Structure 1
Amino acid sequence: MDLYLLVSGTILIFTSIMAYVYIRKLRGVFREYSKAKTLLEDIIVSFNRDLERQGEEIRSVSQGVEEVLLEINKLKNREGAVGLESFEERIADIRERVETVSKIRERLEARIETLDRKIEEVFRRQDEQAEKISRLESSLASLRVNVLEAGLEGAEVKTAIPLRREKALSKLTDTELRVLEILATEGEKTASQIRERINLTREHTSRLMKSLYSRGYVERNTERRPYIYQIKREMLELLKRRRELEA
């Protein structure tokens, strides 16, 4: 009993320390992700403002062109130097406006290139943060398995299986445990495929899988419909170890 308490206390302290370290790392990663997201939002807002300003300038040029065209139509029925002089002034004005449009286009192209570079940098930083999060989650999963195995090795073989079930599987029903065994041995499945194996209604199976997912026993791929469920790696190791001890 004293050995069991000593092992349990050691595992608890070790787990608490490691969890604290990983939580701090995860917070740092999420802070970097938030900075990248804020930067991207600022870039988009600034770019939209520039587009609005340049759009107003282009509309102004278009309006000037329309005015010149109207004047040309009027001049068709006119004669005299006054009309010709007015026409030349309008032509000069439209040339100036066309040059303005060209400058606007150049500024817009340069702005788009700058925006592309900044967006690529933001996406690169987000990919780096996602990779860090993935590595941290993988390390944390391995830590959980190692802690469970350490607890089993520190106790007698006779008490190992009850201890494992008490700590990790005690809240599972026989049906839930069977679902985990199916996923562990046969790989990922949809809720419909699981329902065919456990002979429950669709609603009952759906609630069961949602419960296993919310309690952290399985993972769910939401990129496809219907959702695909797979057992978490630490639970896979746990069931594998359990079968070895029962053999």
Structure 2
Amino acid sequence: MVGGDSVAMMECFDKMQTGNQIVFHAQRLDEEGRLKDVLWVDARSRVLMRTLWLACMNNRVPKAILTDQAAAMRRPLAEVMPNTVHRWCIWHIMSKIHEKLGKCARYQEFVNPLKERVYESFDPEEFQTRWAEFIAEYKLEGNEWLQSLHKESHMWVPAYVKEFFWAGMKTTQRVESINRFFDGYVNRKTKLHEFPQKYCMALDQRVRDELSADARCSKYLRRLVSGFKFEKIFQKL
């Protein structure tokens, strides 16, 4: 911790905290006094975190939650939030299609029909019927990956979870969005002491984007999906 980037980064945190006492930071050192890791939370994120924590303390848990297929998360979520609808990120699943099925015969022929059955089935019964027809037509009965997905259809197929409110989300906002979050701010040459400042700049841009999205949301009509007349009525309302 003598000189160099580590001290410069700590000084940066001190300046951030001087301007806003809500900012939090902490660091751990090893036995020889070298920086092991560092944690900081900007003011806006900390306020949001406090709000969520108070909500949970008042038993106001989320009505729905999106995760990847990590088995380690499923049981704890069921125990801690038994009334919360748990859904898997469909983007993570569909992005594996080429990896899992790319070597199958007729892959190029069935990849789009597969996506169509997943995204365009209107209810669970229709999905099950179309899925069975798809498996039989392309002779994929022995594919273990498809079998495992089918057993957990209720966790990821839109037809099963569309009855619940998802605030327009169907993925965990895509892994690559984290990379895009830092585009133009951080690269491989960014120094350690520069990272907190660059992060704050990226976060400010995200806030501006959110405000802009909120403003646009009030100006434009939602796209019709089902084609039913009552949806047109809701669109006008």
TM over 0.5: no
User: Which structure is higher in RCO with an 8 Å CA cutoff and minimum separation 6?
Assistant: 1
**Larger proportion of strand:** 2
TM-score category (smaller protein): under 0.3
Q: Provide the TM-score with structure 2 as the length reference.
A: 0.21
Q: Provide the TM-score with structure 1 as the length reference.
A: 0.21
**Larger proportion of helix:** 1
Instruction: Mark the structure with the bigger radius of gyration.
Output: 1
